[in-house]
Structures are given as C-alpha cells and as structure tokens.
Structure 1
Amino acid sequence: MQLNILNEYDPLEAVMVHRPGPEIDRLTHDNMVEYLFEDIPYLRRMQEEHDAFCETMRNQGIEVIYLEHLLGELLNDNPEAKRILIETICRAENVPAIAPDLLNESLIPNDALLQILFTGLTVQEYQKLVGKRIPQTSPNGGVLMGPTPNAYFTRDPAVVVRESVISCKMHYVRRLRETIMTRAIFEHHPKFAGHRITFGGSNSPTEDRPFTIEGGDIIVLNEESVLVGASERTRSETIEVLAQKAFDVGKVRRYYEIPIPTERLFMHLDTVFTIVDYATVVWYPGVMEGISEIMRFESGAPGEVIRKPESRNLHRILSDEFGQEVKIIETAGGDEHYASREQRTDGTNVFAVGPRKVIGYDRNERTIAALNDAGIECLNIQGSELVRGLGGPRCMTMPLRRRHAKSQ
C-alpha cells in the first residue's frame, strides 16, 4: 500500500491500530507501575470504547488496519520473517533458549504464538505448552516474557513521514517488543513492500539505545518540516541522528527540537500540543507558553547536520512555517484549573481525521467547547477505560496515508 503523510490534518485514508486484548488483564496492583499504568482498566469496556473509536474512523471513510492482523499474516505466510521476529524478541527478553520451542508449530500454533506476543508468557504456561521444564532459570519471578499492555498506543513504535518509516526506539524496556513487532511488519509484510525505513531498521545498530525516540514526540508540520519533542521519552541526541537520516534521503529539510518538561504527565509532545487544521493548533498553556531553547536542524554538506539555536519562539516558528499567523486553541479554553484536569485526561491529544475535524474524549468538555468555538468539529468518543493508560485518540493511531491536495 502507498504510505504518504505530509501533515497532521489532511483527510486520513488509512491508519494502523491495535485492539486492546488479554494483555490488559495481566496488569495487577503489583505490576501496573512497571508496565507504565497507574490504574487497572476494565478490559471488556475498554474494548467497547476502542471498537467505537474505530467505527468512528470507518464512518469517515478511513481504512482501519489492525496491527495484530498484519502480525498474524506474517507468522502464517513468512517462515523466515517469523524466525527473525521470534529470535529477536527472545534475545530482547533475555530468554533466547525458548525461541526454538516458540517456533515449533507442533507445540505452539501460530494463533497461540500471536497471543503470546501480546500477553507474554509465564514459566508455568511455557511448561504446559511444551511439556518440559524451562531450560534456564526465569529472570523475572516466573515471567519469561511480560505483557504489552501499551500496544494499543500504536503512535509510539513507528511513524510515517512522507513515504518513509521511522522505527522508534522506546525509552522503557517494557515497550521494546512493540517496536520489534511493528518493525517486522514494515520490513517483511507484503503490504509495505518497497518502503524505506529511514531510521531504526534492523541493520541500524548505531541507532539503538541510548538513542531513544517515541512517536508521540513526532509531529509532521508540513512536507518540509517536522517538530520533535525532547521529552521524558525522546533524547536530544536522537533527534540529530534522525535529522541526518532524513536529510540523507533528501525529503524533509528542517527538524525542530522542542524541549518539554521531562515528566511522566507530559511524556510526549502530543500530550501538550497537536495540530488540528492548517495554521491551527491546540496546546496546553501550562507547558507550551514556557517553551524556550528550541533547536533547528538543517542539512549541510553531504553527511552533515547544521544545528542552530532558534531565535524565534514557537508561535513565530509555526506562523512562519504555515505562512500566516497561527491560531492557538488552549486546552480547556485557557481556564487554568480545568486545563490541568483535561490535560491529564488527554484533552490536548485530539486526532485530526481531516481539516477542522478531530476525534477526542467526550469527557474533556471545555476543550471540546474551545475547539467548537474555533470552528473545529469534534467527533467525541467515550474513553473512561482507554485513558487509564494515559493516552488519547492521537496516541492510539499510526496514520499511514492522508489524501493531500497535490503530490509533493
């Protein structure tokens, strides 16, 4: 399929998501913080909310593609890709000895293996499946592979910019498998044949840790410029490496590094800033009004990146890039009390499915009102369970293709 993302607001045509599954039920009071949750969601209600979210997108004519379906097809149709995937995951989880058993279809059919990739695997489950004792001591109290409860946030493991893919490097070890699975799809699934991974491919060891970056920090401003948050999850050093890779391809011309507080509450740039239309943005004033020390990366000689401190503030940068004065909609209409509440429940993390049309959580009533007052239509969804993972509609989507007015 064609990939093409030149901005954040043109009509969305195709998107990748993951429906929350049994991995959510692996969360307990004892492990939820380790897996980056602050509460335990109710899975059935969570799935109902996610299904309604996807149906809202389908009603807009958007093709909704499920990560788990693509992964299942890969396991069934490409034995070599399956081998590479499972061996890579087992090495990352420090249990390489179990890879041969996971690859043995007579022991573990592909549908069961697909579930294991999301729910993880305990020593007891392994022994029941393969009929033998674990070949080595479990490194994590009876858990061979942990679950991936954050997998429904498909924004973070990979990002499409123009016609290419950025394969991200997660900050927290508990999310590394999401990147490995998503990268396998882009590298081996026939749907994406011929597309380039410009950063983070399997053969890019120099881009591994500590070069962490997550998709929630990457915002495609236009066909030439990208904003990247330097945040809790994304390192400044990574942004420079990413810019170099993009410049080598010769497409994007400018990367802007936007520093935000390195706090979990503001874990990604898109928790405090999103674009909802041409020259129209939503931002959380409690963070965005204090942004300073922005860096600009531009291409120099072949293989060279020019790093320049920005003299302009973010408002001016945005206005210059759009070619007109940018319109700023503040979270909760700028009310300090409610802005703090609604930022916490991802009021700023709306997802544009077309010009002046976004999807957001219905609970963020004051932000919705501010958007409506600015002429932005809000397609509201329930998210009382989805939000427990601290993510909104933008977090739950990986845009693959938008319908742009002209070929760039």
Structure 2
Amino acid sequence: MSSTGTAPTPEAAPAAGAHGVHDEISPLRTVLVHRPGRELERLTPDTREELLFDEVLWRDRAEAQHDEFTRLLGDQGVEVLQLRDLLVDIVRDAGLREHLLARALDPAVLGDIAVQDLRGGLADLEAEALADVLIGGITVGELRSLGAEPRSIALQRVGEEHLVLDPLPNHLFTRDTSVWIGDVVSVGAMRRSARRRESLHLEMVYRHHPRFAGPGGPRRLLGRDGAGAASVEGGDVMMLSPRTVAIGMSERTSAVGVERLAAALLADDAVDRVIAIALPHRRAMMHLDTVTTVVDEESMLRFGPLPALETFEIERLGDRLVSRARPADEMDAVLARGLGVPSLRVLTPPLDAYAAAREQWDDGCNVLALAPGRVIAYERAAATNDYLRARGVEVLEFAGDELGRGRGGPRCMSCPVARG
C-alpha cells in the first residue's frame, strides 16, 4: 500500500460490483463490523458512563456472541469486513501510520508532552499491536512496559492503571461512525467526545485502504472536520429508497447536522429528498433505528408507544434549500412517499406499556434486513420476533444478551457497504 494513497475522486464512476447502499432492504452483500476486544476490559463501574455504556460487559461472552452474529451473516452469503483488520492494513504503511498518529494523538486533548510520550512508546510497535492500542487504549503502566518513561506533567500524579489514551468500546457499533448513502459515504461527526476518534479510523480506511480505492470505492467522502454543532450519527440515517434518505433528529444527531448533510447530499445530486424526523431526546431512543427499522418494501417495524412525529422534507430548488414542515399526523404518509409506496404498513407488536418498553430496551426494533422480508434479530426480543413471523417476515436469531447490554442491536453493529 502506498503512503500517497488518496480518496477516490468525486468523478469516479461506480463499477460492476461496486460498493453502495441504495435502500434498507436489497440483498446485503458486504458489511463492516468490529469484533469487540480488549477495549471492553477498560469498562468499569467508574469509566462506563464516560464511555457511554450503561453496564460493564463480559468480554468473553460478548466476543462469542459477536462471532455467532458474523457466522450467521456469512451463512447468508454476506461478506464480512472486520474493522480491526482494515486498520491493521492502514498502519502497516509508514506514511499512513504517521498521518493517523498525528491526528489521533491530539495535544489539545492529551497535552504536548503526553503526545511525545505516546509517540516514543508506539513508534516501534507492530501493526497489529498498534491497532489494538488505537482501539483498546493504553495505560501509564503499559506505556512504561514499552520502554517509554512518561514525562508529561499530566501523568506525574496518576497511578499505573491511568489511561493515557482512552479506549473505544463503541467501535462495536459500526453503524454510527460511517454510513453509505448511495455511492457516497458520510463519516460521522459524533456528538460525544468519547466516540470522535472512531470517525478518524473510518475516514482513514475509506480514504486509503485498497479495498475502497478506485472506481469501486465511494464516489465522495463527506467528512467530519469543521462540523461545529453539526453532529450526525449513522443510527439516525435510513435509505428509504435510492433517491430519498430519512434522518432522525435525536439525542445524538442535531438539527444543524441534518441540514449540513442534506445540503451536501442535495448539492451532489446523491438524493432528491431528505426527510428529517423530530425524535424525542431520550437515552432509550438515542437513534432513529432504536425505535423503527425497514423490513420490506412497504413495512417498518415500530416501537408501539412512539408517538406520531413531526417531519421536515428538505429539497433543493435551484441554488436554495427548501424545507416543508409536515404535522405529526402525516408522518406515515411522508415515510410512504419516501419508500415509494402508496401506504406504509406499520408493524407494531401488541404489547402492554411495560412489555413494549422492555422489548424496545432489548433492541427489539433494531433488526438488520438481509433482504426484503428477511431480518436478523436478537433472540431475546421474542415477542417482536414472533409477531414479525406471523406477518410473513423471516427472522434469523442469535443470542445477544451480553452484546445488547451495550444498548445496540444487529443494525447498530453493522455498517452495510454493498447491497443489491
């Protein structure tokens, strides 16, 4: 791999078999995931909140369940790309390693002397070990074990277990940090600081990995730099049809972020319409895909207690963006237009308020479509899965009780790279 590799030019035409995602349900061909690892061992009762987790996960069980997930995908003919493997390929190249470290080790966050300390310790690491540090973090004691004596004043009064570089346990949820919108990739401008280094890893992969070079790669990469208040996370983005994308305005995706992404997509002619959906700002509904997902050409699975929501249709007329507010009682009609169907079939299991809340917290709505009418779900969402089957949807299950403690289901843990 050359250290001078660049992102594909915006003019590059998609080739046969090229990557791209033009809807939510066409046969899934390639998906990007991250198998959890050492970063989960950094989750403790003291660090979990800062790292955006509600609970402390058991690494061995989480790894085993993730392996079951990827085996299930493979059995269905889906090519599975592992993020760590792609990152290892990137840091094998000396020039790209230097470029990545220069951006990942931010003196404004870590301190200038701490960055020197880290560079000294990481300089001679093999690619696999460096990728593990970038994802799993590193402590003062581990830095010393690499032969680097920390000299940063920020590290003089802390213990050996103090993290010099924080771990990235949320890499598990590859849906959030990048999303394919047709043949364009939007790299997430993440709302919380605990996740912002994740986006850098994805940007480096899409810009420089041979897998995404040339005409088979993204036609354009929409970056995270200079985002300001404009946060957009992939769990809020749904390709309803090839020319319409829905984006939730949620706890994690801001209205400014929706406008910025809409402006870029419409100016690029990647889509004709962006539908913004005004979600409640709650932890249990942090992204659009925690309360609804598309399961076939005309159907969306939906959390029952979710009220009708106001929507905004954004289009481009000449050189201006135009938004039209739609009242909450028109939400289903707006979504049906986005899907390109006469009416929307809403699938909501008939559960009481307590059971519905528990099922939604257990990621019952967060299914991953493999093809129209065929989805992957956690087995613990039993009532939802049975309801879907009774309505003609094929549901493939796997055990996810440990993975789900991280507040994310099969859709959250997968970034489709190619459908169709």
> Do the structures match in fold with TM over 0.5?
yes
Rounded Cα–Cα distance in structure 2 between residues aligned with 1:113 and 1:340: 41
Displacement of 1:109 in angstroms is 2.3
Aligned partner of 2:63 among 47, 50, 67 = 47
Q: Displacement, 1:98? A: 4.9
Counterparts of 2:100 and 2:123 in 1: how far apart (Å)? Answer: 18
Letter in 1 for 2:236: D
Determine helix, strand or coil for the equivalent of 1:221.
Answer: strand
Matched, 1:148 2:168: yes
1:18 aligns with 2:34: yes
Cα pair distance change 1:118/1:140, threshold 3 Å: farther
How much does 1:298 deviate? 0.3
| Larger mean Cα displacement after TM superposition, 393-402 or 317-326 | 317-326
How many pairs align? 394
Residue 281 of structure 1 deviates from its aligned partner by: 0.5
Corresponding position of 1:406: none
* Structure 1 residues 29 and 56: alpha-carbon distance in aligned structure 2, compared to 1, 3 A threshold: same
The answer for the alignment partner of 2:222 in structure 1 is 199
Counterpart contact for 2:188–2:223, Cα < 8 Å: yes
| AA at the equivalent of 1:89 | A
- Structure 1's unaligned 5+ residue stretches are 404-408
Is the Cα contact below 8 Å between 1:279 and 1:318 reproduced in 2? no
Letter matched to residue 397 of structure 1: S
Does residue 250 (structure 1) correspond to residue 273 (structure 2)? The answer is: no
Is 1:79–2:94 an aligned residue pair? yes
Q: Is the 8 A contact 2:183 2:220 kept in 1?
A: no
Shift of 1:338: 1.6
The SS at the match of 1:115 is: helix
**AA of the residue aligned to 1:282:** L
How far apart in 2 are the matches of 1:41 and 1:121?
Answer: 19
Secondary structure of 1:286's partner? coil
2:350 matched to 1:327?
no
Deviations 1:61-90 (A, max 9, x none): 0000000000001111x3222212111111
Alpha-carbon contact 1:37-1:390 (below 8 Å) kept: yes
User: What secondary structure does 2:146 align onto?
Assistant: helix
Cα distance in 2 for residues equivalent to 1:114 and 1:165: 23
Once the two structures are superposed, residues 108-163 of structure 1 have per-residue CA deviations (whole angstroms, 9 ceiling, x without a partner) of 22222111011111222212213322334249953211111111100000000101
How many angstroms apart in 1 are the aligned matches of 2:53 and 2:219? 33
Identical aligned residues as a percent: 31
Alignment match of 1:212 (pick from 213, 225, 231): 231
Aligned to 1:176: 196
Q: Is the 8 A contact 2:117 2:150 kept in 1?
A: no
Given candidates 131, 149, 169, the residue that maps to 1:114 is 131
Tell me, yes or no, if structure 1 residue 167 matches structure 2 residue 187. yes
SS across alignment from 1:229: strand
Per the TM alignment, residue 94 of structure 1 is displaced from its structure 2 partner at its CA by 2.6
Deviation at 1:3, TM superposition (A): 1.5
The one-letter amino acid paired with 1:327 is: R
Preserved contact between residue 218 and residue 228 of structure 1 (Cα < 8 Å): yes
| SS in structure 1 of the partner of residue 189 of structure 2 | coil
Structure 1 residues 246 and 55: CA distance shift in structure 2, 3 A: same
Which residue of structure 2 aligns with residue 135 of structure 1?
Answer: 152
Aligned partners of 1:240 and 1:305 also within 8 Å: no
- The TM-score normalised by the length of structure 2 is 0.89
Unaligned residue ranges in structure 2 (runs of 5+): 1-16
Q: Distance in 2 between matches of 1:178 and 1:393?
A: 19
Asked if structure 2 preserves the Cα contact closer than 8 Å seen for 1:16 and 1:398, the reply is yes
Q: 1:359 aligns with which of 364, 376, 388?
A: 376
Distance 1:96 1:223, change over 3 A: farther
Identify which of 373, 383, 406 aligns with 1:389. 406
Q: Which residue of 2 aligns with 1:187?
A: 207
CA distance in 1 between counterparts of 2:268 and 2:370 reads: 28
Aligned to 2:140: 123
Distance 2:157 2:117 in 1: 19
Which residue pairs with 1:272 in the alignment?
291
- In 2, distance between residues paired with 1:350 and 1:139? 47
Moved more, 187-196 or 42-51: 187-196
2:80 to 44, 64, 68: 64
| Stretch of structure 1 that moved more, 318-327 or 259-268 | 318-327
Q: Return the alpha-carbon distance in structure 2 between the equivalents of residues 184 and 134 of structure 1.
A: 30
Contact 1:4 1:162 survives alignment (8 Å)? yes
Corresponding residue of 1:221: 240
8 Å CA contact 2:184, 2:222 repeated in 1: no
Quick check: 1:120–1:148 contact (8 Å CA) kept in 2? yes
Given residue 196 of structure 2, which amino acid in structure 1 is its aligned partner?
Answer: L
CA deviation string 1:151-186 (max 9, x = no partner): 110000000010110011111100111111111101
Q: Read off the aligned partner of 2:105 and give its amino acid letter.
A: C
Provide the secondary structure at the position in 2 that maps to 1:349.
Answer: coil
What TM-score, normalized by structure 1, do the two folds share?
0.92
Contact kept in structure 1, 2:301 and 2:365, CA below 8 Å = yes
Residues 28-70 of structure 1 deviation map (CA, whole Å, 9 limit, x = unaligned): 1111111111111111111110000000000110000000000
How far apart are 1:370 and its partner, in Å?
1.2
Could you tell me how far 1:282 is from its partner in structure 2?
A: 0.3
Is the CA contact (8 Å cut-off) linking 2:117 and 2:148 kept in structure 1?
Answer: no
CA–CA distance in 1 between the matches of 2:144 and 2:127? Answer: 18
Q: CA RMSD in A?
A: 1.9
CA offset at residue 102 of structure 1? 5.1
Letter in 1 for 2:265: A
Q: Secondary structure at the match of 2:305?
A: helix
